[in-house]
Amino acid sequence: MSVDFHKLFYQTISCGSLLLKDRANFKYLLHHADYLNREHDELPNLVDKSIATTKRFDALKVFMTMQNVGPDALGEMYDHLMDQTQQVAKLVTAHPQFELLAEPSLSTVLFRAVNSDADDLEQLNKTIRIEALTRGIAVLGETVVNGHTAMKFTILNPCLKLSDFETLLNNIHQLALELTNSH
């Protein structure tokens, strides 16, 4: 099983692990090179324990988080984010000028503005994302869902309240209206 600790485990990029049920399967990671595999050394051979032999010790980040925050608190934070993602999806669904493009998976909400006065909804949603960034409203991801340009919330901050997302959606709606009326 592989685990990427980035985002939902509150770790920076480049922090993953590979968990093996049978330690004999570590042999598939091995690559012999005389300068790496020093069998005669009495020092521990850490090369055979990682695919990326020269990378930093990223497991320390996970260890320190687990030690300082604890698994129970991390689990509560995770559960909160999953619940909040569902609540934000309901806010999007209830808003007449937004369309939820997919049921949330993990902590991501995919949606688009559907202002009826817009000539080109795909371009409008692309422009909203850029304008939201440059105006300091929000950092939104962009993807395509069933042929439609989607804006993407990745909800990761357990300190945010639902009212923060209500305000954010309202600001995005106001931006969409402004952009639609300016064309």
Confidence of residue 5 (pLDDT cuts 50, 70, 90): confident
Chain segment 19-54, per-residue pLDDT in tens: 889 988 877 776 666 655 556 666 666 665 555 565
How many domains would you assign to the chain? Answer: 2
Residue 177, CB-side half-sphere exposure with 13 Å CA sphere: 8
Query: Which contiguous run of DSSP H or E holds residue 145?
Result: strand 141-145
Same structural domain for residues 91 and 113?
yes
Domain limits for position 31: 2-68
Same structural domain for residues 55 and 122?
no
Same structural domain for residues 77 and 64?
no
Same structural domain for residues 37 and 126?
no
Torsion angle, alpha carbons of 164, 165, 169, 170, to 10? -30
Same structural domain for residues 101 and 153?
yes
Q: Which amino acid is at 80?
A: H
Same structural domain for residues 38 and 81?
no
Question: Alpha-carbon distance 107 to 81, whole Å?
Answer: 6
Question: Alpha-carbon distance 13 to 61, whole Å?
Answer: 11
Chain segment 99-135, per-residue pLDDT in tens: 999 999 889 999 999 987 767 999 999 999 999 999 9
Per the DSSP assignment, residues forming a β-bridge with 17 are 3
Same structural domain for residues 80 and 168?
yes
